[in-house]
């Protein structure tokens, strides 16, 4: 039954109109990408990118992306967009990557940077918000990184997510939702999902908070204007339910506690009430929602990585707040060309096999001829004595 009479296409258009697309890059305008992407000049040895769809592809033009061109190099390139905060919104980061050189060791991930990143000087130390995507090195490392930056520290995902290791183009999607859940998809399939709080190693974060608070004395804390204490704290007095299994269920999330009402009588002279509150609660391990999934000033995306053997192609970059939009974008880009890409690869493989076979036969013939020739030479040389 067609519900309210609105045709499906209208619903789709409306849906897409609601999505906010912060960044989208398909490299469809020839060499003009060079006006949008900034190559870092931090090191003269940094490798260069070119626009290419590679040795085999689904569509010669549509599959063009940034390809690494030099072996044994670091690469650093980035593009800017209008800065935004993902506060209270879903954040979807998506792109395609193809290791057609059969990657042996090298990065295939992207980094999302704050707007104040120095693009010209981009390097391994440039602070980022999010690092996402495959990393391959030998037999041991074949993983998808999801590294999030909170409170001046990088936090890796605890769950190991295996990446694709073949030479075809794959679609990687990271979703961070405001309810503190996340999802990683490869080729539109959900590979890992759960809670940011449980699946990242935040122990260090809790410890750091505690020790840094303890090391501060009253006077220091009073002067620290940068402190931005949150409205919610974990309820330190609540205790873990007896049936909670930390092994299976992860760290127990203590319920959130409203900031206790400020009581004038308890206030030490001349001390800001928030500092007072912080001191009062300094022994609790608190984490706020703010810390876990919000990035205030997202403003650039880049490739900052090392490759032993070059040839990787990055394409179809997307940053949006809409999961459905990302899904559709994936379908109309990677979804359209993945089949033809495999077909072309199969045809090339067949041709190569045929050529190799012909070369083998030729060599066999040449070998016979060479054999005769050397026999001939030997004969003559012997004759010279």
The residue ranges that bind ligand NAG (CB under 6 A) are 42, 121, 123, 125, 158, 201, 203-204
* Residue tagged 């592809």 (tokens): 57
* Residue tagged 């067609």 (tokens): 2
Closer residue to ligand NAG (CB): 121 or 212: 121
- Closest separation between CB of residue 201 and ligand NAG, Å? 4
Instruction: Assess contact for 172 and 99: CB atoms under 8 A.
Output: no
- Closest separation between CB of residue 121 and ligand NAG, Å? 5
Closer residue to ligand NAG (CB): 20 or 160: 160
Token pair of 367, please? 């070998």
- Closest separation between CB of residue 105 and ligand NAG, Å? 22
- Closest separation between CB of residue 291 and ligand NAG, Å? 15
Q: Distance (Å, rounded) from C-alpha 216 to C-alpha 33?
A: 49
Q: At what angle do helices 323-332 and 334-384 cross, to 10 degrees?
A: 40
Residue nearest to ligand NAG (CB): 204
Closer residue to ligand NAG (CB): 171 or 303: 303
Closer residue to ligand NAG (CB): 103 or 146: 146
**What contacts 24+ positions apart, CB below 8 Å, involve 163-167?**
163/108, 163/133, 163/134, 163/135, 163/136, 164/134, 165/99, 165/103, 165/136, 166/99, 167/98, 167/99, 167/100, 167/101, 167/102, 167/345
Closer residue to ligand NAG (CB): 292 or 318: 292
- Closest separation between CB of residue 120 and ligand NAG, Å? 8
Q: Distance (Å, rounded) from C-alpha 310 to C-alpha 67?
A: 8
Closest CA to 67 of 96, 105, 104, 36: 96
- Closest separation between CB of residue 316 and ligand NAG, Å? 30
Give the rounded distance of the alpha carbon of 218 from its chain centre: 41
- Closest separation between CB of residue 202 and ligand NAG, Å? 8
Closer residue to ligand NAG (CB): 74 or 334: 74
Q: Which residues contact 178 (CB under 8 A, 6 or more apart)?
A: 86, 87, 88, 89, 90, 293
Closer residue to ligand NAG (CB): 250 or 340: 250
């Amino acid at each position: 039954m067609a519900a309210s009479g609105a045709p499906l296409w209208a619903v789709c258009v409306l849906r897409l109109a609601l999505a906010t697309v912060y960044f989208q890059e398909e490299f469809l305008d020839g060499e003009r990408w060079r006006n949008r992407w900034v190559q870092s000049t931090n090191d003269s040895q940094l490798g260069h990118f070119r626009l290419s769809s590679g040795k085999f592809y689904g569509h010669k033009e549509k599959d063009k992306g940034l390809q690494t061109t030099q072996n044994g190099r670091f690469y650093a390139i980035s593009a800017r967009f209008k800065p935004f905060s993902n506060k209270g919104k879903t954040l979807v980061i998506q792109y395609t990557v193809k290791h057609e050189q059969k990657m042996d060791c090298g990065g295939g991930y992207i980094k999302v940077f704050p707007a104040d990143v120095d693009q010209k000087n981009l390097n391994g130390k440039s602070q980022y918000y999010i690092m996402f995507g495959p990393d391959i090195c030998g037999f041991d490392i074949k993983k998808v990184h999801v590294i999030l930056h909170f409170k001046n520290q990088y936090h890796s995902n605890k769950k190991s997510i295996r990446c694709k290791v073949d030479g075809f183009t794959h679609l990687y999607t990271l979703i961070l939702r405001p309810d503190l859940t996340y999802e990683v998809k490869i080729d539109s399939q959900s590979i890992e999902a759960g809670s940011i709080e449980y699946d990242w190693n935040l122990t260090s974060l809790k410890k750091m908070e505690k020790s840094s608070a303890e090391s501060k004395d009253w006077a220091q804390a009073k002067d620290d204007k940068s402190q931005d204490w949150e409205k919610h704290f974990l309820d330190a007095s609540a205790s873990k339910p007896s049936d909670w299994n930390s092994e299976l269920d992860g760290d127990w999330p203590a319920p959130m506690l409203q900031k206790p009402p400020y009581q004038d009588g308890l206030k030490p002279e001349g001390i800001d009430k928030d500092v007072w509150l912080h001191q009062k609660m300094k022994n609790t391990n608190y984490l706020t929602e703010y810390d876990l999934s919000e990035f205030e000033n997202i403003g650039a995306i880049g490739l900052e990585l090392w490759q032993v053997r070059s040839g990787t192609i990055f394409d179809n970059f997307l940053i949006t707040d809409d999961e459905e939009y990302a899904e559709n974008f994936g379908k109309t880009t990677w979804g359209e060309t993945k089949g033809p890409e495999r077909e072309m690869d199969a045809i090339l493989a067949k041709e190569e096999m045929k050529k190799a076979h012909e070369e083998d036969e030729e060599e066999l013939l040449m070998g016979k001829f060479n054999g005769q020739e050397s026999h001939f030479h030997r004969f003559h040389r012997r004759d010279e004595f």
